[in-house]
A and B are shown apart, each in its own frame.
Chain A
Amino acid sequence: MGELRLMKGNEVIAEAAIRCGCDGYFGYPITPQSEIMETLMDREPWNETGMVVLQAESEIASIHMVHGAAGSGKKVMTSSSSPGISLMAEGISYIAGAELPCLIVNVQRGGPGLGTIQPSQADYFQSTKGGGHGDYRLIVLAPSSVQEMNDFVETGFKLAFKYRNPAMILTDGVIGQMMEKVVLADYIPRVTDEEIDRRHGSWVTNGRKPNRGRNIITSLEMDSLKMEHNNIRLQDKYAKMEEEDVLFEEVQCEDAEYLLVAFGSSARICQKAVDQCREKGIKVGLLRPITLFPFPKKPIAALAKRVKGMLVVEMNAGQMVEDVQLAAGCNIPVKHFGRMGGIIPSPAEVVEALEQKLIGG
């Protein structure tokens, strides 16, 4: 078993990055995620593993630095919080279009605009439906514990390289600022330049080699037929993600009459709400999507045949609820309960909402 520590979610992201052989981090301070870069700067991984850590002049620069380094086959990442992710939207679209692997961490805060530094889940649409321009998707992982903050760094990189696509850890100020015990991963050495050439020689731009032609990384294609072909290739990739890499968790769903659907920190609150409901004799289960894209459509469709109704609990005005409604179909009610502006709902509020919106209704 790995090293057991008590750590903040944000600190764990930094520690996990160093340990998983990350080659570089480029970022810009923003609350509530600044501890990620602070921890990296304090740890000085350039002395230990050779990992590059650079404070950029903006989130825009950060994501384009990631573009450059990822294009050379390196395992690189950035992190930010909601307003900063909006600034990165341009670069994320370019990275998706150029088909480069990287990891982006969004420790969400409330919006719109400068909003608040308190936690929120209002970037679900931005993360899963786009955010930047064009038809692209991110692989979106939603941790609900500090342990998953640790685990999803390596999971995110694995999926990013599997699909040559940006992966995002979509978390929020609750998980980022919360301290919990965590079992840290063992160290994985950084990938050598020779290994990068062997694995990714067909596309990386790290200097032309005698055994390959020059490589060009671009999302630009002026021939519309070729550009449509590029789009089809991307869509095929996203379809493959939906076939092969959906992650979710079911809690007490076997005998459930009602289902709560929630991700990240809301799912933790819902777990407590499930217990409170069962104490009252209401058979409630919880489905927690772990990958928000690809979305767990099939388990939700299966549960829609067994439960009387679903309540989607999110710290936003109702975003994931649209995906749940699509997956569940029209035969059962699918309702939403949310708090906004940085308010974290209590388990009692969730129980009350369930009773009012589904059981009483």
Chain B
Amino acid sequence: MNLADIINPNNLVYEKPKLLTENTMHYCPGCSHGVVHKLLAEVILDLDIQEKTIGVSPVGCAVFAYNYIEIDWQEAAHGRAPAVATGIARCNPDKVVFTYQGDGDLASIGAAEILHACNRGENIVVIFVNNGIYGMTGGQMAPTTLIGQVTATTPNGRDAGRNGYPLKITELIAQLPGTSYVTRQSVHTPASIRKCKKAISKAFQAAIDKKGTSFVEVVSTCNMNWKLSPVKANEWMVDNMFPFYQPGDLKDSTKTDPASYTPLKN
């Protein structure tokens, strides 16, 4: 058997998703963003929506998400991606619009924008990558930083009295009648990656079916700012993040109609 017999389309078991560009990713080795990008590229192609999908990238580590997936993109101001996505989706109801946001972007500076977009039931998909820290600016405390977690702005660990409590924004969002599918996933094992892909696919299908907002949190690592090796970071996430940010579906009403209300009495 020679090399040409081995490198043969019939033997292909895995390839780089066709929608991922050739650009070298700027993410740190071990970062979860690359895996989530890959899943997005696969799902968009699987659903054959690459010509009707518009992505909105955040400010934070994923600011350059637009460099990596071969679709139209807008780059939003810090926290404002849900508003930008609202503008696109409202004026282009036949398109599929998603935001890609980190925890500082979504749960801190953009808390108002995400809550109100979800509460209006904007027909968008939200991909929320939560690693409990500000990555791009060098590891400061995020709204999702755990109590006791050491960051650049909580050098002795997050203290509830001084810094408040970690924000379970996904739990808040699941309460809103505008959301149809709210789930929390991770991408630290092959099994969790497969499960996360299914969740992202379901979220995009809900947008195609005009079911309102679908929201996929991906609990992730930031091994660089956590100051751990990629493997250790995964272990730390399982041991510390998962008990607080428990993986699983929080809400699924994709098979039912949006909430309805009785009219006011005169």
Contacts and interface: CB of A to CB of B under 8 A. Distances in A.
Interface of A: 23-24, 26, 52, 54, 56-58, 60-62, 64-72, 74, 76, 90-91, 94, 98, 193, 204-210, 214-220
A220 B83 contact: no
B66 A218 contact: yes
Interface of B: 50-54, 56, 63, 66, 70-77, 80, 83-92, 95, 112-113, 116
B52 A205 contact: no
Contacts, number: 132
Nearest to B89: A68
A204 B72 CA distance: 8
Listed from nearest, the 9 A-B pairs whose CB atoms lie closest are: A68-B87, A218-B75, A64-B83, A65-B87, A69-B87, A68-B84, A57-B116, A205-B72, A64-B80
Nearest to B86: A65
A200 to B, nearest CB: 12
Nearest to A102: B87
Given A60-B80, A68-B74, A219-B75, A23 B91 contact: yes
Contacts of B56: 68
Nearest to B90: A52
B88 A208 contact: no
Nearest to B75: A218
Nearest to A63: B83
Contacts of A91: 77, 80
Contacts of A72: 54, 87-88, 91-92, 95
B75 A217 contact: yes
Contacts of A207: 51-54, 71-72, 92, 95
Given A207-B53, A216-B75, A220-B63, A54 B86 contact: yes
A65 B84 contact: yes
A123 B63 CA distance: 33
B62 to A, nearest CB: 12
A24 B83 contact: no
B75 A208 contact: no
A210 B88 contact: no
B71 A208 contact: yes
A214 B90 contact: no
A68 B87 CA distance: 5
B51 A67 contact: no
B76 A205 contact: no
